Structure 1
């Protein structure tokens, strides 16, 4: 079962909190243990020094019982009115040994007959089968003996255990409180994500407007920006599809009506008149096919944002295209010419698209300037490549010049059979390649179309 982001974050945060509180409790317990032991060790040392100071080392047998009894009464007696202090009662164990350890001079009630600790100065902790105690050892130089003062560590252990319980309970309470705060913080932090989900669920199919959230965190901003970019691309794609359908319906309505009328007309003709009518029908079908082909090409170009490019010889591409169109130009009485400076021009571009652009420019010149020459010129330097196509026709008026690249716009008469898409396709190919398209009337007559490409490194 997959966990939600909210539950995953909560579990991870609780784990981190549990680890942090556990480590803090453990460290606090260790510090408390150290401090409690230091306090009790210091008190034990003070007791030993107090006994040493009160002793008359010349009369140990007389002083020690009295001092031990007084010490026990002061440390081990708890008033009945204070039962809560019973856990902290402490019993002092006192031994006095000869310097060489050969004789036990004195031991308090409860102290064993063997030495509580080694006979040298310092603190010692004994934990064995015979019992557990903490001992402080000091010397009695005048009496040539050792004084050992010990205690059972029950009180300090009780305090340490209670402190450990306090740390544990406080840690659990802190974990619960922090978890509730973390849950609230996570819900607040994930609020924009929930809002985004709600906005997207409420959206209709036709609503492709950008998403605008009340609060957009830094981490969520790339997601929102990506969604808005996707909505923009979808909107542009739908608009292109609607425009394609509208353009196709507009352009195909007339030729299909003509084909229908011609078909109806053929039904009433004699056999010897059918050939001419069939030729006209074929021309109408060809024109409709060209319109559909150009519309599809234009739709593909609208979709293409970064075509695959390769290193090609633009001059060779122009020569090949001119050779393919030579028969058509010769049929219309047009002369095709190419002037390339230098002879080979390398350019990084999409070969298929450039071939379509060159073909459209030449066919457009042949269509609107029949019987005249069509000149193709190439010029290149280190910065750019310039392709020009010029016909020797009548040119176009200045008012029409700027509209030639509009879709379905045909300058002058409309009897040339074009669909008004050729220069639109060339303009789109130029945009895809980052080239510049210019249309102008040549000073000596005719239309001059110029495509300027920027040259990249290594070309």
Structure 2
């Protein structure tokens, strides 16, 4: 699902929910007000008929159940009206009144069902007469439905219009993201220059800055890999050339000269092996690979392992100086990485120190730290 569709769906759903709750509240209040108005119409009609009965002194002599015209009772069309005595005798009624008559023993409003038809009636007591006015429930519900439809259609149309505007507005707001996408798609595979997109909303500037920082890191990584490749090629070329030369000399000579050439070739192979190990270690460091092999060594053990590996095993010129109170606590560092780092320092010291001088390796402790100090006597 696209971001535009997802935003439209979520915001539209929230919008529809809020509008639906507001519309339901409004329509419920409107229905209550309409029912109250219809009830008040029944009350007003009953009072009006009561006023007319006072002007019709011969009403009591009308034969029981006699029908009077609606014009005589002066009630609105569709409304039933019935005039009865306190004994329940129907004195007059409109032609819309059911044959069984309306229940009028109690004053006030009531709901009743006559011949399967629901009625809402109001009875008013005036002297010896009971005036009852009534509406059919089905007519009330039809009126309520028509008002509901009349109020709902504009709300529904407005809601659909708002959703369309929301869709268009979100699409317009996502234009900067589309520009960033197009700018990245137009770039070549080796293009790592920072993106320059203007204008850009403030909310998207952190994204652009992060993208540019990522491009810069990628560029630095690629440059570092290129340098590493060049350095590795240079470091590997020298021992390989020396090995090839010594092997060619050994092929053309005999005796001691041949043995010496083979020994030099072996030294070149050892140098090549150490170079490859250094490259592998560098790749592991830059690749964030784990060095934790589960082994733990003290500072003295790390120093002795580094001396053992230094200068291809020719460690006779290295002096190890240890204090009497050296802690036996394991070094909190991968053993392989600690030994490799210390061995590199020793190799460098031996390489730049005359053959007749010594190299000193001191191990010192200070609180919770351990210090390895390599000292040579080479030329400054």
State TM-score, norm by structure 1: 0.68
Residues 69, 94 of structure 2: 8 Å contact kept: no
Residue 30 to residue 128, structure 1, CA distance change in 2 (3 Å): farther
Structure 1 position 319 matched with structure 2 position 321: no
Q: Separation in 1 of the partners of 2:190 and 2:168? A: 36
Say if 2:379 is the partner of 1:381.
no
Contact 1:14 1:175 in 2 (8 A): no
Match of 2:97 in 1: 111
> Does residue 1:94 correspond to 2:96, yes or no?
no
1:309 & 1:224 partners in 2: Cα distance? 41
Q: CA deviation at 1:126?
A: 3.3
Residues 343 and 36 (structure 1), Cα distance of their counterparts in 2 relative to 1, 3 Å cut: closer
Deviations 1:127-162 (A, max 9, x none): 443544432101123x2x322122446765454233
Q: Deviation per CA, 1:376-395: give whole Å up to 9, x if none.
A: 2222233533221223x2x4
- Residue 356 of structure 1 deviates from its aligned partner by 0.9
RMSD of aligned C-alpha atoms?
A: 3.7
User: 1:185 and 1:315 mapped to 2: Cα distance?
Assistant: 70
Q: Which residue of 1 aligns with 2:124?
A: 138
In structure 2, C-alpha distance between the alignment counterparts of 1:306 and 1:203, rounded to whole Å? 36
Gapped regions of structure 2 (runs ≥ 5): none
The match for 2:112 is 126
Residue matched to 2:334: 350
Could you tell me how far 1:44 is from its partner in structure 2?
1.7
Paired residue secondary structure (2:91): strand
For 1:425-444, what per-residue CA distance to the aligned partner results, in whole angstroms no more than 9, with x for missing partners?
A: xxxxxxxxxxxxxxxxxxxx
CA contact (8 A) 2:111 2:120 kept: yes
Q: 2: distance between equivalents of 1:129 and 1:115? A: 10
TM-score, structure 2 as length reference: 0.80
Task: Identify the residue that residue 49 of structure 2 maps to in structure 1.
Answer: 51
Give 1:30's match in structure 2, choosing from 28, 31, 34.
Answer: 28
Report how far residue 41 of structure 1 moved: 1.4
Q: Pick closer, same or farther for the CA change 1:71–1:154 going to 2, 3 Å.
A: farther
| CA drift at 1:58 | 9.3
Q: What's the offset of the Cα at 1:341?
A: 4.1
Q: Which of 202, 226, 246 is residue 230 of structure 2 equivalent to?
A: 246
The residue that corresponds to 2:71 in the other structure is: 69
The number of aligned residues is 372
| Aligned with 1:207 (options 179, 187, 191) | 191
For 1:178 and 1:364, the matched residues in 2 are separated by 75
State whether residues 42 and 133 of structure 2, in contact with CA within 8 Å, keep that contact through their aligned partners in structure 1: yes
Quickly say closer, same or farther: Cα 1:278–1:67, change in 2 above 3 A.
Answer: closer
Q: Residues 409-434 of structure 1: CA distance to partner in whole angstroms, max 9, x if unpaired?
A: xxxxxxxxxxxxxxxxxxxxxxxxxx
- Indicate which of 183, 201, 204 corresponds to 2:167: 183
Q: Distance in 1 between matches of 2:244 and 2:306?
A: 35
